[in-house]
Amino acid sequence: MGPIDASLIPRYAGIATFARLPRLQDVPAPDIAILGIPFDSGVSYRPGARFGPSHVREASRLLRPYNPAQEVSPFQQKQVVDAGDLAVNPFDIGEAVDTIDLSVTELFDAGITPLVIGGDHTIALPMLRAAHRRFGQVAVLHFDAHLDTWDSYFGADYTHGTPFRRAVEEDLLDLEALSHVGTRGPLYSAQDLTDDARLGFGIVTSSAVGRRGVDEVASALRERIGDRPLYVSIDIDVLDPAHAPGTGTPEAGGLTSRELLELLRGLHGLNLIGADVVEVAPAYDHAQITAIAAAHVSYELLSLLARKKTPEVGA
């Protein structure tokens, strides 16, 4: 089953699944599931990303079946479904993290690849726990304005600024293949960079993308990742506020939406095993600018997944 035919039912009509895809319960053997996680209790500044999944779904109505940039029809190559939103406790971060871990593990165990729409970046940690359980240590490609390897906020270990430090501490990641892309803006101190490097991350700043160009950066990322199982985590604030105003912690000087899409297209052939797109906060969005960007970013990730020949499971 594919998306609803827009020549028969207008895009503004019908149920608002992602790209108007069938629901998980309506398909016997899905390959890829879009899962919304409406959770933002881990944010440190502007809240509202809990409303991100529905906002991105609404903007995804205009997506079409064929992706000319990647020369693939993702909804024909793979059975893609919308798994709806995961109900997580907004008052207990620990319980929410455990719920996400359990639910995504069930998808992996069923042979379904998850593409998650958040929600805040806290959700990356349980996603990586589930991925590690299935694939062993994974490479991480993290698109973000921020490092998200801080230790804690207000004494809390689990927030949207700490998931990748926790993931390294829990031995979930392959330390030879960790990269931040698009980072920029002020830090608390130079020690932030020292701590991040100690954890194993390489950094390609947004300025470096502009100077080096997307082709060179994508080539370097491919070389660093190799054939390892790869998890891609995308905070929409990696984009400049001109391209994504609807987010919780915007920083000037970010990537353009074109640069981000081209970087993702440059990852073709890698062993992508899961991904998330997070931190879309519709209360700060204008004319669906952020949601449209997030929907197209998700579509490029789906296209990469659709181009995979066979899944590769690690230890």
Q: What integer pLDDT is reported at residue 202 of this predicted model?
A: 97
How is 210-248 classified by DSSP, letter by letter? HHH-HHHHHHHHHHHHTTSEEEEEEEGGGB-TTT--SBS
Task: State the average pLDDT over residues 173-186.
Answer: 97
Q: What domains does the chain contain, in order, with CATH numbers?
A: 18-306 (3.40.800.10)
Segment 134-143 shows an average pLDDT of 98
Which strands sit side by side in the sheet containing 271-278, from one edge to the other?
80-85, 32-37, 113-118, 271-278, 229-235, 138-143, 173-183, 201-205
107-124 average pLDDT score: 97
Between 311 and 167, name the one with better pLDDT: 167
Whether 314 shows a pLDDT value over 60: the answer reads no
Q: What is the pLDDT of residue 8?
A: 77
Q: What is the pTM of this model?
A: 0.95
- Residue 5: pLDDT band with limits 50, 70, 90: confident
Q: Which pLDDT belongs to residue 310?
A: 53
Q: Give the pLDDT confidence score for residue 315 in this predicted structure.
A: 44
311 has a pLDDT exceeding 60: no
Token duo for residue 65: 């079946």
